[in-house]
Amino acid sequence: MAEPVIGIDLGTTYSAVGIVEAGFPILLADEGGERLTPSVVWFGPEGVKVGRAALREAPAGRLVRSAKRQMGVRFGEHVEGGLPLVGDTHGGVAFQTLEGPRTPVEVSSVLLGELKRIAEYRLEREVRKAVITVPAYFNNAQRESTKQAGEEAGLEVLRLVAEPTAAALAYGMNKLGESARVAVFDLGGGTFDVSILELRDGIFEVLATGGDTRLGGDDIDAVILDLVKQGAGMSGSALEDPEADGDRLIQEAERVKRELSTKDHVVFRVPFYDGAQSLEVEVSRADLESGAEPLLSRMERICREVLVDAGMEPDEVGAVVMVGGSSRVPAVQKLAEAVFQREPDCSQHPDEAVALGASIQAGIIAGTWREVLLLDVTPLSLGIETLGGLMNVLIPRNTTIPCKVGEMFTNARDGQDSMRVRVLQGERELARDNWELGKFDLSFRSAPRGKARVGVQLSLDENGILEVLARDVEGTGEDVIVRIESAAVDVNEEAVEQMVEESVEHAFEDMNARVFTEAQLKAEELLPAVRVALVEIGSILSEEEQEEIRLAERAVEHALTGSEANVLKRAVERLDQATEVLAARLVEKAIKEV
Ligand code: ADP
Ligand code: MG
């Protein structure tokens, strides 16, 4: 039998592992018959415990939750939550446990090791290869960290698959043959993803994807806690402080939330809270729904953005596939229904769909599943900085990956012999408003301005990992190849969504800045050339022609001191026109001289 390839859903709150067996994807259960493993690790003096075993231990200072939220996050850009965070030696964060700092990669590798162990226990053989899912919004650094965690757990990570894509794969299983566009709405414990995919003759293509890596069921738990706080008339701090008690409160809030998915009223109850007092507050579904309003409107906005990105009207979506444990919340289903104007499809198992899809993808690779192509898209645009500090997009957002795009660049100054290539990610027109994924210098044979030829190529592999190649085409032919790995972490997750928002917000001024800079570059090229030409052959122009050129020249100089993009643009165009006469005369002169 061929070597097994397992599919893993490494969730923020729950994880699962599966495989294709006899042509069908199945999830593998642990010794207790559980198919979902809580994504928590307990670091004790005599070793670590994972999942339910970890939850049975006293949590204080030892239990790490939601490690996925800190994957690939830079220290300083992190958001606190759970155990205190400290910086690790590579600029990332680490959880401060009583056993010392533990990085998110270390914690995730313990989780992945446990899933590998469960698979080996069920399959009764060694497992070394895996497909792991990641949120569609994960950036390069987060993907790399996930891969690294897999490798540290002894797994060869054959592929990283976007979670909504995996869910669609699970959904498409019994719907293949139909031509349809589906929206996948995935609300888990810590992340929210919406994608629109096209399903055609067994081929999936992601048309657009969006989401928020800091929006999920945890936030709904927090709403419940807030309601309880208000109901109990307590000050905020009294409920947040002691970590052990805090944990009991969160667990109770989660239980109440789950019950409110099917009931109208549930009593929040923590006995002997504070040592003596018990805490009892009734929470209604209506209260939860109004408390969750801000969360719901964030979801709504993201859904609308994704529709816009896909260039689709709600009625063009054939089905809205609901996955993720929190998609069980009735208000969330109502919201999906309102945005997409159709009843959401709850046919998939909300907790298992992603892991089943990962297993199908693993089966495709292992050859145990029939062939289906999988195409993902880039969540943000990728490009490099060019002259004047502008962003030059090479790969626009929502481009299907894998992809490869190249463009030629040249030198800005005479005799220049090297160029700084700054790789950027983001939606803004000015380089400085985007994120720098990395930079490097390429040296080339010195050449007059505009004569060197440097090719820059960006390629994104199917895991969403970026490789940048720069080559001195004319001169040395030398290559610089840079793989963007941990350098991509100069970003904070929330900022991904913010980036898209800001690009819309600043669209007007950004465009203005780009137009100005482009006109300015053109002016800097034109002005010296015009001055030289006027001196050399000005005499062969008529008085009016000379005057017009001088006026146009002055208009450009004046506009350069201002900040009006359109004024400068028009002045440059005028100068350009005025000098056409000059260019024509130059040609005539050259002909006469022959
Ligand atoms: P992740 O992919 O982030 O690990 P899951 O898809 O497993 O998350 O979803 C976990 C979340 O789903 C948790 O926040 C959990 O509280 C929530 N959840 C599970 N069951 C229910 C339910 N019946 N009602 C509301 N929320 C639920
Ligand atoms: Mg999930």
pLDDT tens per residue, range 382-391: 999 988 889 9
Do the Cβ atoms of 525 and 533 come closer than 8 Å?
Answer: no
The mean pLDDT of 427-437, rounded to a whole number, is: 90
Q: Classify burial at 45, counting beta carbons within 10 Å of its beta carbon; exposed 0-12, middle 13-18, buried 19 or more.
A: exposed
**Which residue lies with its CA nearest to atom 7 of ligand 1?**
14
* Residue 201 confidence (pLDDT): 63
pLDDT band at residue 107, thresholds of 50, 70 and 90? very high
* Catalytic residue status for 163: yes
CB-based pocket (< 6 A), ligand 1: 11-14, 188-191, 216-218, 254, 257-258, 261, 324-326, 328-329, 351
* Residue 330 confidence (pLDDT): 97
Question: Which of 106, 114, 186, 345 does the annotation list as catalytic?
Answer: 186
* Residue 136 confidence (pLDDT): 80
**Which residue lies with its CA nearest to atom 12 of ligand 1?**
325
The mean pLDDT of 295-307, rounded to a whole number, is: 96
Do the Cβ atoms of 434 and 391 come closer than 8 Å?
Answer: yes
**Which residue lies with its CA nearest to atom 19 of ligand 1?**
325
The mean pLDDT of 40-61, rounded to a whole number, is: 93
Do the Cβ atoms of 393 and 202 come closer than 8 Å?
Answer: no
Q: Which two tokens stand for residue 75?
A: 């220290």
- Report which of residues 144 and 443 the model is more confident about: 144
* Catalytic residue status for 9: yes
In three-state form (DSSP H/G/I as H, E/B as E, the rest C), the secondary structure along 276-293 is CCCEEEEEEHHHHHHHCH
In eight-state DSSP terms, residue 298 is H
Q: How many angstroms does the Cα of residue 11 sit away from the middle of ligand 2?
A: 5
- Report which of residues 8 and 203 the model is more confident about: 8
* Residue 369 confidence (pLDDT): 77
Q: Which two tokens stand for residue 22?
A: 């006899």
* Residue 370 confidence (pLDDT): 60
**Which residue lies with its CA nearest to atom 20 of ligand 1?**
325
Q: How many angstroms does the Cα of residue 326 sit away from the middle of ligand 1?
A: 4
Q: How far apart are CA 373 and CA 21, in angstroms?
A: 20
The mean pLDDT of 269-282, rounded to a whole number, is: 81
* Residue 177 confidence (pLDDT): 47
* Residue 473 confidence (pLDDT): 81
The two domains 382-491 and 507-593 share their CATH topology (first three levels equal): no
Is the model's pLDDT at 255 over the cut of 90? yes
The mean pLDDT of 332-340, rounded to a whole number, is: 97
Closest ligand to C-alpha of residue 39 is 1
- Work out the mean pLDDT of the chain and round it to a whole number: 86
Domain boundaries, the chain: 5-215+294-376, 217-293, 382-491, 507-593
Cα separation values, 354 from 14, 162, 194, 275, 350, Å: 11, 9, 13, 41, 8
Closest ligand to C-alpha of residue 133 is 2
Q: How many angstroms does the Cα of residue 420 sit away from the middle of ligand 1?
A: 46
Is the model's pLDDT at 372 over the cut of 70? no
Is the model's pLDDT at 475 over the cut of 90? no
Q: Closest ligand 1 atom, CA of 186?
A: 6
- Choose the residue to mutate in 35, 257, 332 for probing ligand 1, maximizing ligand atoms within 8 Å of C-beta: 257
Q: Which two tokens stand for residue 197?
A: 């995919």
In CATH, the architecture of 382-491 is: Sandwich (2.60)
* Residue 237 confidence (pLDDT): 46
Cα-flanking dihedrals φ and ψ of residue 491, to 5°? -135, 155
Task: Dump strand ranges (E) for 461-579.
Answer: 466-472, 479-484
- Choose the residue to mutate in 326, 328, 346, 493 for probing ligand 1, maximizing ligand atoms within 8 Å of C-beta: 326
Name the range with the highest mean pLDDT among 39-48, 237-246, 494-503.
Answer: 39-48
Instruction: Output the pTM of the full model.
Output: 0.66
Do the Cβ atoms of 53 and 35 come closer than 8 Å?
Answer: no
User: Residues of the chain with pLDDT > 70: what percent?
Assistant: 92
Q: Closest ligand 1 atom, CA of 14?
A: 4
Residue length of the chain: 594
pLDDT band at residue 486, thresholds of 50, 70 and 90? very low
The mean pLDDT of 177-184, rounded to a whole number, is: 74
| 5-215+294-376 CATH, one of 3.40.50.800, 3.30.420.40, 3.30.70.1450, 3.20.20.70 | 3.30.420.40
Cα-flanking dihedrals φ and ψ of residue 408, to 5°? -95, 140
Q: How many angstroms does the Cα of residue 163 sit away from the middle of ligand 2?
A: 7
* Residue 239 confidence (pLDDT): 52
Closest ligand to C-alpha of residue 324 is 1
Q: Which of 328, 322, 244 is nearest to 288 (CA)?
A: 328
The mean pLDDT of 342-349, rounded to a whole number, is: 90
Superfamily of domain 217-293: ATPase, substrate binding domain, subdomain 4 (3.90.640.10)
pLDDT band at residue 176, thresholds of 50, 70 and 90? very low
In CATH, the architecture of 507-593 is: Up-down Bundle (1.20)
Q: How far apart are CA 414 and CA 417, in angstroms?
A: 9
Do the Cβ atoms of 432 and 415 come closer than 8 Å?
Answer: no
Is the model's pLDDT at 58 over the cut of 90? no
Q: How many angstroms does the Cα of residue 188 sit away from the middle of ligand 1?
A: 5
pLDDT band at residue 442, thresholds of 50, 70 and 90? confident
Closest ligand to C-alpha of residue 167 is 2
Site of tokens 């559980």: 34
* Residue 242 confidence (pLDDT): 47
The mean pLDDT of 128-141, rounded to a whole number, is: 90
- Choose the residue to mutate in 13, 133, 214, 321 for probing ligand 1, maximizing ligand atoms within 8 Å of C-beta: 13
Q: Which of 404, 376, 377, 409 is nearest to 390 (CA)?
A: 409
Q: Closest ligand 1 atom, CA of 254?
A: 16
* Residue 539 confidence (pLDDT): 78
Q: How many angstroms does the Cα of residue 35 sit away from the middle of ligand 2?
A: 14
Question: Which of 144, 163, 252, 493 does the annotation list as catalytic?
Answer: 163
Question: Which of 49, 68, 147, 257 does the annotation list as catalytic?
Answer: 68
Is the model's pLDDT at 452 over the cut of 90? no
Is the model's pLDDT at 400 over the cut of 50? yes
Q: How many angstroms does the Cα of residue 165 sit away from the middle of ligand 1?
A: 19
Which amino acid, residue 177? G
Site of tokens 């200072």: 61
Is the model's pLDDT at 72 over the cut of 50? yes
- Report which of residues 577 and 234 the model is more confident about: 577
Is the model's pLDDT at 485 over the cut of 80? no
- Report which of residues 535 and 208 the model is more confident about: 208
